[in-house]
A and B are shown apart, each in its own frame.
Chain A
Amino acid sequence: MTYIVKPRFHHPALPKNALGYTHRDYEGSVSTLCAGCGHDSISAAIIQACFELNIEPHRVAKLSGIGCSSKTPTYFLGQSHGFNSVHGRMPSVMTGANLANRELIYLGVSGDGDTASIGLGQFAHLIRRGVNMTYIVENNGVYGLTKGQFSATADRGSKSKRGAINADSSIDLVAMALQLGATFVGRSFSGDKKQLVPLIMAAIEHKGAAFLDVISPCVAFNNHPGSTKSFDHVREHNEAVNRLDFISGRSPIAVDYEPGAVEIVEQHDGSKIALRKLDGDYDVHDRRGATNFLLERAAAGEIVTGLLYVEPDGEELHDNLKTVKKPLNTLGERELCPGSGALDKFNASLR
């Protein structure tokens, strides 16, 4: 780790967003992760995405569990709300927080251990309930904090730093999220911010459960030949189905696109995703097709990245539960204790 504080000085010509902040204003404290950790790049991508979305930091709640990845919320959005939960239990805290205050932007950051091992059950229910949030898994395929044992997302047949071969089948979290009904699913790579930043922006603006699996090489324990989560391996086998530009809110599309090559996906809040297709046949609205494509390419040893599935008008938990539109902490006595008349009416409805 670095002992010195990152200097406060910044580039004199640094751009400012609509709120007058530079991207430096979205930073947290300096990272204590190993030098070169992919997670730090993802933190930088989250910082960039929030800066570009003109998000007021106090409107964000960042939640995490335990692990290298779950430490990272300390390293970005230093002015936002944070909750570092029990190992694998971030999804239930997230669900509860979201139910209590639906007006915040929820960002869950977790790892392959926290999500695919100890937290798998919680993860499944968070997704299937359609909690309105962005869930980022910083996926490096190893338990870095305990010195590099295979995690549940390590590919069968891949080699550990000490030469052991992984005999267990791996969990593909993207396939799971698709199967469980996530309405926004993508995969990216910490070493490709051009793809990652717009994906995070689109996921944050998405209404419903948005899931991003971000391959994030562990430089200390999983960046060697034989690993399928190393910088070299991912760069060689990265098969991006599309490139996306995120166009926020009401701004008109200023970029000229060749007709046919680009699909514009408009989300519920008016923000648009301009998808430049790289794989001509790939359809981001076909859940079954996406699942098939994913399995087929995985069998060929390729890593499919990009925006894999989106349902722009998805439903979320609050719609299904028909909850009150306002955060619970803003409800007054009148709303919380509507009086005996209301109680009688309610009781009558149950008879």
Chain B
Amino acid sequence: MKPTDIRDPNYFHKVVDCQWACPAHTPVPEYIRLIAAGRYSDAYLINWKSNVFPGILGRTCDRPCEPACRRGRVEKEPVAICRLKRVAADYKDDITARLPKPVEKKNGKRIVCVGGGPASLAVARDLAPLGYDITVLDQDPQAGGMMRTQIPKFRLPDSVIDEECGYILDLGVAFAGGKRVDSLKALLAENWDAIFVGCGAPRGRDLDIPGRKEAAKNIHIGIDWLSSVSFGHTTKIGKRVIVLGGGNTAMDCCRSSLRLGGEDVQVVVRSGFEEMKASPWEKEDAMHEGIPIHNYLVPKEFTHENGKLTGVVFEHVKAEKDAKGRRKLVPSGEPDRHFPCDDVLVAVGQENSFPWIERDIGIDFDEWGMPKVDERTFRSTHPKVFFGGDAAFGPKNIIWAVAHGHEAAVSIDKLLNGEDIGHRPLPAVEVVSQKMGIHEWSYDNDIAGDKRYRVPLRDKVVALKDIRAEVELGYDDALAFKEAQRCLNCDVQTVFESKLCIECDACVDICPMDCITFTPNGEEAELRTRLTAPAHNLAQDLYVVNELKTGRVMVKDEDVCLHCGLCAERCPTGAWDMQKTLIEMTQAGTACRSRA
């Protein structure tokens, strides 16, 4: 194998699994250490810079970081990264003085964002402090988009949305609420310097089966129903409710129903329980509230009597692999099953919908009716029009929308400075040794053996009575400290200098995870088979350093390294050092522009 080039910013970035997995690349271990130190405001600001909505995401993020967390490979469960983020938001001091101030003298460039959700707000947050004149348009009276309309208040209270959207609008961003954009052509005619489309995927998919029309009064589209609940237009639902669909929207629907008078609320999914799109913790939360989830049932017909819904008929299916090995649902032969109910909520997916974009203004669409958007620059085929969030590549989640917003903001900033937007900036990387003394490091390297701590919940009886009562109470500071201590500090890298090594084997012997091997070099696939412990996880790199005196190479399997620093503590010559890599994505501003 070739020696590893640790100067490549991506090498160490990949070792920080959580940060690498985060679409916005939030420096997770850095803020978790600050939480452990009780520096909640500092932890919050690190988050705010990179993911814009720490308080919102700390409650609702889809947390791609957690399945990636190294702790999950070392023991059973990852660090509760998401809920620690909430801790920073909950316990911070007033940080308004530390946020950028509105720019008094604008630079004269006008940008409009269509839609007031996370993608648009991220663009506004990044660009407003640079002097751009930003206007955000939304059909709803308040900013927040789907964060406000589709996430039930018992998961995300309005106060958190108000606060974090407020930080952005207070940067001097103009918000025009209650203004629905009907024509992009008209908007283009207003001579904006750039247009950002962050209007989401606003249409809920319907279910066209017999009885749909006849029983329409009691069949609701999930996301529309949720936003109606959120605005207080809907306050009641029937006693028996069937929720169709297995995504996070379905989970929000069933839990909301339970709070609006539903007594017998059940979720029915087409496929298997395991294949459901909902995050495992959202399924858990629903089941914790006593909601049963039935699987392998395909809705066949809505039954009705005198124009009133009476139930849903389902066909039993089972999963089979076809000749090509693809999974298919086929009838199992069991008799159909009838679920009587008073209301049905259809949460079987979301779609994009762009009836307001004319097809003759230079924006190309693909065969699925999605705009053609560059995956790196987020620019459409129109030079001034950018897309981000669900509007760009279909329904994802908040953290992706934020990440899109940052990238689009970089593109817009470069465009309006006359630069090539295809030339993307590298992240900023800071590498600093953590050595403080002989066996002293500036991070806590004593690995905590604790299992993941549960987030305290509000009493179920109380929680189910009030749809606005937040279910999760969040960690208190003592629990937050203990959970934070579970973090393995993966950003504190093991850095090896072969010139200093005397090949005494001390690091090999002490390493609790048997990560380190000194061996003759070989091809990667073969080398992986003869390490101290087998290196089966191909997604994790081998760190290879050559030029040892004996001609061997040092191979470290990054997979389950605890970053405990014992290799460096037991190294007599300082050949191993623990160095913190702080990796920050470059956002819009002078740093993102070329240094010509």
Given contacts A35-B571, A36-B571, A219-B504, contact A235 B550 (CB under 8 A): yes
Residues from chain B with a CB closer than 8 A to the CB of A2 are: 439, 510, 566, 569-570
Given contacts A1-B439, A5-B446, A9-B447, contact A223 B502 (CB under 8 A): yes
Residues from chain B with a CB closer than 8 A to the CB of A3 are: 439
Interface centre among B508, B515, B562, B572 (most CB of A within 10 A): B572
Identify which of A4, A5, A24, A41 contacts B504 (C-beta below 8 A): A41
Q: Decide yes or no whether B505 CB sits under 8 A from chain A.
A: yes
Among residues of A, the one whose C-beta sits closest to the C-beta of B513 is: A11
Q: How far is the CA of A235 from the CA of B505 in the complex (A)?
A: 14
Given contacts A2-B439, A7-B447, A36-B570, contact A44 B505 (CB under 8 A): yes
Q: Decide yes or no whether A242 CB sits under 8 A from chain B.
A: no
Q: How far is the CA of A220 from the CA of B502 in the complex (A)?
A: 13
Q: Decide yes or no whether B235 CB sits under 8 A from chain A.
A: no
Q: Decide yes or no whether B509 CB sits under 8 A from chain A.
A: yes
The digit string for A33-67, where 1 denotes a CB below 8 A from any CB of B, is: 01111101101100000000000000000000000
Whether B573 pairs with A36 at a CB distance below 8 angstroms is: yes
Residues from chain A with a CB closer than 8 A to the CB of B512 are: 6-10, 24
Whether B564 pairs with A4 at a CB distance below 8 angstroms is: yes
Given contacts A190-B505, A191-B503, A217-B504, contact A34 B514 (CB under 8 A): no
The digit string for A1-35, where 1 denotes a CB below 8 A from any CB of B, is: 11111111111111000000000100000110011
Q: Decide yes or no whether B549 CB sits under 8 A from chain A.
A: yes
Residues from chain A with a CB closer than 8 A to the CB of B327 are: none
Using a CB-CB cutoff of 8 Å, which residues 119-159 of chain A contact chain B?
none
Q: How far is the CA of A44 from the CA of B75 in the complex (A)?
A: 24
Among residues of A, the one whose C-beta sits closest to the C-beta of B505 is: A41
CB distance from B414 to the nearest CB of A (A): 45
Q: How far is the CA of A223 from the CA of B573 in the complex (A)?
A: 11
Identify which of B73, B445, B513, B570 contacts A10 (C-beta below 8 A): B513
Residues from chain B with a CB closer than 8 A to the CB of A5 are: 446
Q: Decide yes or no whether B536 CB sits under 8 A from chain A.
A: yes
Residues from chain A with a CB closer than 8 A to the CB of B533 are: 11, 13-14
Q: Decide yes or no whether A232 CB sits under 8 A from chain B.
A: yes
How many residues of A sit at the interface, in one of the four size bands?
35 or more
Q: How far is the CA of A193 from the CA of B518 in the complex (A)?
A: 11
Given contacts A38-B504, A40-B570, contact A6 B536 (CB under 8 A): no
Q: How far is the CA of A41 from the CA of B508 in the complex (A)?
A: 9
Q: Decide yes or no whether A231 CB sits under 8 A from chain B.
A: yes
Residues from chain A with a CB closer than 8 A to the CB of B560 are: 9, 11-12
CB distance from A350 to the nearest CB of B (A): 57
Q: Decide yes or no whether B534 CB sits under 8 A from chain A.
A: yes
Residues from chain B with a CB closer than 8 A to the CB of A41 are: 504-506, 509
The digit string for A204-245, where 1 denotes a CB below 8 A from any CB of B, is: 000000000000010110010000000110010000000000
Chain B interface secondary structure, helix, strand, loop or mixed? loop
Residues from chain A with a CB closer than 8 A to the CB of B335 are: none
Q: How far is the CA of A172 from the CA of B79 in the complex (A)?
A: 56
Residues from chain B with a CB closer than 8 A to the CB of A190 are: 504-505
Residues from chain B with a CB closer than 8 A to the CB of A38 are: 504
Whether A11 pairs with B503 at a CB distance below 8 angstroms is: no
Whether B564 pairs with A7 at a CB distance below 8 angstroms is: yes
Among residues of A, the one whose C-beta sits closest to the C-beta of B441 is: A4
Using a CB-CB cutoff of 8 Å, which residues 84-113 of chain A contact chain B?
none
Q: Decide yes or no whether B74 CB sits under 8 A from chain A.
A: yes
Residues from chain B with a CB closer than 8 A to the CB of A7 are: 447, 449, 512, 562, 564
Whether A4 pairs with B445 at a CB distance below 8 angstroms is: yes
Among residues of B, the one whose C-beta sits closest to the C-beta of A193 is: B505
Q: How far is the CA of A27 from the CA of B506 in the complex (A)?
A: 15
Using a CB-CB cutoff of 8 Å, which residues 401-448 of chain B contact chain A?
439, 445-447
The digit string for B522-550, where 1 denotes a CB below 8 A from any CB of A, is: 00000000000110100000000000011
Q: How far is the CA of A193 from the CA of B552 in the complex (A)?
A: 14
Whether A231 pairs with B503 at a CB distance below 8 angstroms is: yes
Residues from chain B with a CB closer than 8 A to the CB of A34 are: 572
CB distance from B90 to the nearest CB of A (A): 30
Residues from chain A with a CB closer than 8 A to the CB of B446 are: 4-5
Q: How far is the CA of A13 from the CA of B569 in the complex (A)?
A: 25
Residues from chain B with a CB closer than 8 A to the CB of A12 are: 73-74, 560
Q: How far is the CA of A8 from the CA of B449 in the complex (A)?
A: 8
Residues from chain B with a CB closer than 8 A to the CB of A235 are: 549-550
Residues from chain A with a CB closer than 8 A to the CB of B509 are: 40-41, 43-44
Q: How far is the CA of A191 from the CA of B562 in the complex (A)?
A: 25
Identify which of B74, B75, B506 contacts A40 (C-beta below 8 A): B506
CB distance from A6 to the nearest CB of B (A): 5
Q: How far is the CA of A264 from the CA of B9 in the complex (A)?
A: 53
CB distance from A239 to the nearest CB of B (A): 16
Interface centre among A12, A35, A44 (most CB of B within 10 A): A35
Among residues of B, the one whose C-beta sits closest to the C-beta of A34 is: B572
Among residues of A, the one whose C-beta sits closest to the C-beta of B562 is: A7
Residues from chain A with a CB closer than 8 A to the CB of B514 are: 10-11, 14
Among residues of B, the one whose C-beta sits closest to the C-beta of A4 is: B446
Q: How far is the CA of A43 from the CA of B509 in the complex (A)?
A: 9
Interface centre among B445, B505, B573 (most CB of A within 10 A): B505
Among residues of B, the one whose C-beta sits closest to the C-beta of A223 is: B502
Q: How far is the CA of A12 from the CA of B74 in the complex (A)?
A: 7
Q: How far is the CA of A36 from the CA of B573 in the complex (A)?
A: 8
Given contacts A4-B564, A190-B505, contact A35 B449 (CB under 8 A): no
Residues from chain A with a CB closer than 8 A to the CB of B571 are: 35-36
Q: How far is the CA of A191 from the CA of B571 in the complex (A)?
A: 14
The digit string for B552-590, where 1 denotes a CB below 8 A from any CB of A, is: 000000001010101001111100000000000000000
Residues from chain B with a CB closer than 8 A to the CB of A223 are: 502
CB distance from B486 to the nearest CB of A (A): 11
CB distance from A81 to the nearest CB of B (A): 23
Q: How far is the CA of A31 from the CA of B74 in the complex (A)?
A: 24
Identify which of A24, A35, A43 contacts B569 (C-beta below 8 A): A35
Given contacts A41-B506, A217-B504, contact A36 B572 (CB under 8 A): yes
Among residues of A, the one whose C-beta sits closest to the C-beta of B504 is: A36
Q: How far is the CA of A2 from the CA of B506 in the complex (A)?
A: 12
CB distance from A140 to the nearest CB of B (A): 12
Given contacts A9-B75, A11-B514, contact A219 B570 (CB under 8 A): no
Residues from chain B with a CB closer than 8 A to the CB of A11 are: 513-515, 533, 560
Residues from chain A with a CB closer than 8 A to the CB of B73 are: 12
Q: How far is the CA of A5 from the CA of B461 in the complex (A)?
A: 45
Using a CB-CB cutoff of 8 Å, which residues 7-45 of chain B contact chain A?
none
Q: How far is the CA of A249 from the CA of B509 in the complex (A)?
A: 27
Whether B503 pairs with A35 at a CB distance below 8 angstroms is: no
CB distance from B512 to the nearest CB of A (A): 5
Q: How far is the CA of A118 from the CA of B534 in the complex (A)?
A: 45
Q: How far is the CA of A35 from the CA of B573 in the complex (A)?
A: 9
Q: How far is the CA of A13 from the CA of B508 in the complex (A)?
A: 17
Residues from chain B with a CB closer than 8 A to the CB of A10 are: 512-514
The digit string for B87-103, where 1 denotes a CB below 8 A from any CB of A, is: 00000000000000000
Q: How far is the CA of A324 from the CA of B503 in the complex (A)?
A: 48
Whether B572 pairs with A219 at a CB distance below 8 angstroms is: yes
Using a CB-CB cutoff of 8 Å, which residues 174-214 of chain A contact chain B?
190-191, 193
Beyond the given A7-B512, A7-B562, A44-B505, could you list 15 further A-B residue pairs with CB under 8 A, ordered by the A residue number? A3-B439, A4-B447, A5-B446, A6-B566, A8-B449, A9-B513, A9-B560, A11-B515, A13-B533, A35-B570, A36-B502, A36-B570, A36-B572, A41-B509, A231-B504
What are 15 A-B pairs at a CB distance below 8 A? A2-B510, A2-B570, A6-B510, A7-B564, A9-B512, A11-B515, A11-B533, A36-B570, A36-B571, A40-B506, A41-B505, A190-B505, A191-B503, A232-B549, A235-B549
